[in-house]
């Protein structure tokens, strides 16, 4: 296999050390991400003549237009980097967990003096211990409500906690007995820390240990004739029993194991996980995977790396039906994360084999449902419709839309929103303050925002974590022929030759394309048109919300500056409590009194009401 001319220099200068590598297509989109002990040997191996190279690998190599790499100090660091990059970009030739960011986690903020328990989705934060992900969010929240009665930890923000502490006034959860109220000293620091440890133990599956501790505490309280405390412990034990109802005893031993099986069909797979903690089967989850074009033996190892890379509480043994590529390296990585040994085992017989078979049945059932769902969605796939409508060579997987929002020529802003595979990718949304000051001129501002966006691409295209590094398959402009014309000029000036471009006019929902003054009209129920309208409307919403926030911030800053008693510290406190300037402007008097003294809250409330009337 000959080396493409444009890659010859890059392949000559590869380092002979560990790291992660990124293969990109002609548009600069990552199509495969891997890791290697020797970047030089591994990357060059794709372009060497080998009779054993699979058709899938050959197809990947034919799509490679450029490559990047990131060096690490060890192969284990390369493994972690590879998993993070795959999670970020979801390249088409890699196996990737679908929608993993939508799953909620239970998080405990261990870095705080009095840790709080919350439900968190999306990116993890430092100083927290996470439990999950939970695919059944409703059931998880119901369980959490019960747990808060057993382990009444705070759930409030730092601002609310400090306010309650200052005023010696607890919140409603104190009276509902769902918070132990450390803010008012209702529990000692030692007592609160014990609650935290018990909740962590419980969420890690050590239910018997927690129940035994509560039973001992109940007996000791009863012996001291502290009957109210003994009754509280009894109620907690009953609540634990309620949570554990329906759990099946698997082994008399206190085992902490996971059982994994994967069912595959074409480009779709489902991994089913059974959780055994303390010898009991406590639950199961199914996770949908998008299969890449690379060899199937990587499916199990890819799932393990991505799934256990986001979990803090790891089992001692992972039983899986099938071989796991790079098993020793993954076990070493899991051991480092868990700070103890974690084994990956392929069981051949007995109880563990039967549990893997049970997981396999769950995976097959879930895959059957997903396949039917995918087939139904495919029959009216709007992305396929767009490909045919615009006569594209590829399905427009990444769509970027731009909209301008202005108020009488002032506070002009632009939005960039991103849809991938027909769904919003909010982490890649961006907002722009317009430098243009010539009044209401959407065409000039469309030109400005597109130039800024694609010039950023030129500066960041080698940064695998930058949203600007990715190029869209399709750019959607809100407007008609004038907006399309200026957008076309910008893309040509910046040599964005691989990016398709259309405009969608609001009044008749007509689609304008390059090279034609005649718009396309589609039926109102056409899936392709409905997708474009959703994308366009999301861009409009995002631009409006940014403009509203800027106006609110401007109005609020002016309003607060006019009150002599509102200094920088109180401004920070207000923003910490209400989160946005818009929320402060809309706040009622009782809300303001939670942050400020009664007299100052009243003065601010009256002043803000006048500001809103004047604005």
pLDDT of residue 44: 86
Residue 495 has pLDDT above 80, yes or no: yes
* 35 or 246, higher pLDDT: 35
Residue 53's pLDDT band, with cuts at 50, 70 and 90, is low
Contact 104/137 with Cβ under 8 angstroms? yes
Using one digit for the tens of pLDDT, what is the confidence trace for 346-364? 998 888 898 999 888 888 8
pLDDT of residue 51: 57
Among 148-152, 321-325, 354-358, which is the least confidently predicted range? 148-152
Contact 581/556 with Cβ under 8 angstroms? yes
Among 111-120, 154-163, 321-330, 581-590, which is the least confidently predicted range? 581-590
Mean predicted lDDT score pLDDT of the chain: 79
pLDDT of residue 577: 76
**Proportion of the chain above pLDDT 70, given as a percent:** 80
Residue 464's pLDDT band, with cuts at 50, 70 and 90, is low
pLDDT of residue 373: 59
Per-residue pLDDT averaged across 10-15, rounded? 82
DSSP one-letter code for 185: T
Q: How far is 7 from 61, CA to CA, in rounded Å?
A: 12
Considering 242-246, 438-442, 487-491, the range whose residues carry the highest mean pLDDT is 487-491
Identify whether 133 is preceded by a cis peptide bond (ω within 30 of 0).
yes
Residue 481 has pLDDT above 80, yes or no: yes
Backbone angles phi, psi at 521, to 5 degrees: -115, 130
User: CA distances (Å), 522 to each of 385, 519, 533, in order?
Assistant: 11, 10, 12
Q: Exposed, middle or buried, 241 (CB in 10 Å: 0-12/13-18/19+)?
A: exposed
Bridge partners (DSSP) listed for residue 275: 258, 283
Per-residue pLDDT averaged across 455-482, rounded? 81
Q: Which own/partner pairs from 519-522 qualify as long-range (CB within 8 Å, at least 24 positions apart)?
A: 519/480, 520/389, 522/389
Residue 101's pLDDT band, with cuts at 50, 70 and 90, is very low
Contact 566/560 with Cβ under 8 angstroms? yes
Residue 414 has pLDDT above 70, yes or no: yes
Among 434-443, 542-551, 557-566, which is the least confidently predicted range? 557-566
Residue 323 has pLDDT above 90, yes or no: no
Contact 92/281 with Cβ under 8 angstroms? no
* 341 or 370, higher pLDDT: 341
Using one digit for the tens of pLDDT, what is the confidence trace for 371-381? 665 555 554 57
Per-residue pLDDT averaged across 198-216, rounded? 76
pLDDT of residue 563: 56
pLDDT of residue 345: 92
Residue 463 has pLDDT above 60, yes or no: yes
Q: How far is 306 from 544, CA to CA, in rounded Å?
A: 36
pLDDT of residue 318: 93
Residue 615's pLDDT band, with cuts at 50, 70 and 90, is very low
Residue 450's pLDDT band, with cuts at 50, 70 and 90, is very high
Per-residue pLDDT averaged across 196-221, rounded? 78
Per-residue pLDDT averaged across 108-122, rounded? 84
Mapped onto helix, strand or coil, the DSSP state of residue 217 is: helix
Among 11-20, 34-43, 56-65, which is the least confidently predicted range? 56-65
Residue 392 has pLDDT above 50, yes or no: yes
Would you state the structure tokens that stand for residue 14, as one six-digit string? 């590869």
Would you state the structure tokens that stand for residue 415, as one six-digit string? 């939005």
Quote the pTM value: 0.53
Among 33-42, 93-102, 170-179, 214-223, which is the least confidently predicted range? 93-102
Using one digit for the tens of pLDDT, what is the confidence trace for 593-609? 877 878 788 877 777 76
Per-residue pLDDT averaged across 55-59, rounded? 76
Residue 484 has pLDDT above 70, yes or no: yes
Would you state the structure tokens that stand for residue 213, as one six-digit string? 């501790």
pLDDT of residue 320: 93
Contact 451/490 with Cβ under 8 angstroms? yes
Q: How far is 615 from 411, CA to CA, in rounded Å?
A: 14
Residue 611 has pLDDT above 60, yes or no: no
Residue 140 has pLDDT above 90, yes or no: no
Q: How many CA atoms, within 13 angstroms, populate the side-chain half-sphere of residue 72?
A: 19
């Amino acid at each position: 296999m000959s080396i493409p001319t444009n890659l010859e220099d890059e392949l000559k200068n590869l380092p002979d050390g560990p790291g992660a590598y990124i293969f990109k297509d002609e548009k600069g989109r990552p199509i495969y991400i891997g890791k290697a002990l020797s970047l030089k040997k591994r990357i060059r191996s794709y372009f060497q003549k080998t009779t054993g190279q699979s058709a899938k690998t050959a197809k990947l190599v034919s799509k490679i237009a450029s490559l990047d790499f990131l060096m690490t100090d060890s192969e284990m660091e390369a493994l972690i980097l590879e998993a993070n990059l795959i999670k970020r970009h979801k390249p088409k030739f890699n196996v990737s967990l679908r929608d993993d960011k939508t799953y909620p986690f239970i998080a405990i903020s261990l870095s705080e003096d009095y840790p709080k328990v919350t439900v968190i989705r999306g990116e993890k934060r430092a100083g927290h211990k996470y439990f999950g992900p939970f695919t059944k969010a409703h059931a998880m929240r119901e369980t959490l409500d019960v747990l808060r009665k057993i382990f009444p930890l705070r759930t409030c923000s730092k601002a609310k906690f400090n306010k309650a502490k200052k005023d010696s006034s607890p919140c409603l959860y104190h009276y509902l007995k769902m918070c132990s109220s450390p803010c008012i000293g209702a529990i000692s620091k030692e007592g609160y820390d014990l609650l935290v440890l018990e909740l962590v133990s419980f969420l890690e599956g050590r239910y018997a240990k927690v129940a035994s501790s509560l039973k001992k505490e109940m007996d000791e309280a009863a012996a001291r004739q502290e009957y109210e405390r003994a009754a509280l412990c009894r109620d907690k034990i009953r609540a634990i029993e309620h949570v554990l109802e329906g759990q099946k005893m698997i082994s008399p031993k206190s085992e902490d194991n996971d059982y994994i099986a994967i069912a595959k069909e074409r480009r779709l797979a489902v991994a089913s996980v059974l959780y055994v903690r303390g010898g009991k089967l406590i639950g199961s989850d199914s996770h949908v995977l998008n299969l890449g074009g690379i060899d199937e033996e990587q499916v199990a190892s890819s799932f393990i790396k991505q799934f256990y890379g986001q979990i803090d509480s790891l089992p001692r043994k992972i039983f899986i039906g099938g071989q796991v590529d790079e098993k020793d390296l993954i076990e070493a990585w899991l051991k480092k994360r868990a700070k103890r040994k974690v084994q990956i085992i392929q069981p051949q017989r007995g109880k563990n084999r039967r549990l893997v078979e049970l997981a396999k049945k769950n995976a097959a059932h879930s895959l059957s449902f997903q396949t039917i769902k995918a087939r139904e969605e495919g029959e009216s796939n709007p992305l396929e419709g767009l490909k045919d409508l615009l006569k594209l060579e590829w399905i427009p997987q990444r769509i970027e839309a731009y909209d301008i929002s202005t108020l009488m020529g002032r506070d002009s802003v632009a939005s960039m929103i991103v849809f991938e595979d027909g769904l919003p990718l909010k982490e890649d949304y961006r907002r722009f303050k317009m430098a243009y000051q010539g009044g209401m001129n959407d065409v000039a501002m469309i030109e400005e925002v597109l130039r800024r966006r694609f010039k950023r691409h030129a500066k960041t295209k080698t940064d695998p974590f930058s949203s600007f590094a990715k190029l869209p398959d399709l750019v959607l402009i809100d407007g008609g022929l004038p907006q399309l014309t200026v957008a076309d000029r910008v893309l040509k000036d910046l040599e964005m030759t691989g990016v398709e471009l259309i405009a969608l006019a609001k009044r008749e929902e007509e689609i304008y394309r390059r090279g034609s003054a005649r718009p396309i009209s589609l039926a109102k129920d056409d899936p392709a048109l409905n997708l474009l309208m959703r994308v366009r409307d999301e861009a409009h919403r995002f631009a409006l919300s940014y403009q509203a926030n800027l106006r609110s911030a401007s109005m609020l800053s002016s309003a607060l500056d006019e009150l002599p008693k509102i200094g920088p510290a109180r401004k920070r406190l207000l923003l910490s409590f209400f989160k946005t300037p818009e929320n402060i402007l809309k706040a009622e008097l009782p809300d303001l009194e939670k942050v400020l003294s009664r007299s100052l809250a009243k003065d601010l409330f009256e002043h803000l009401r006048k500001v809103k009337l004047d604005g």
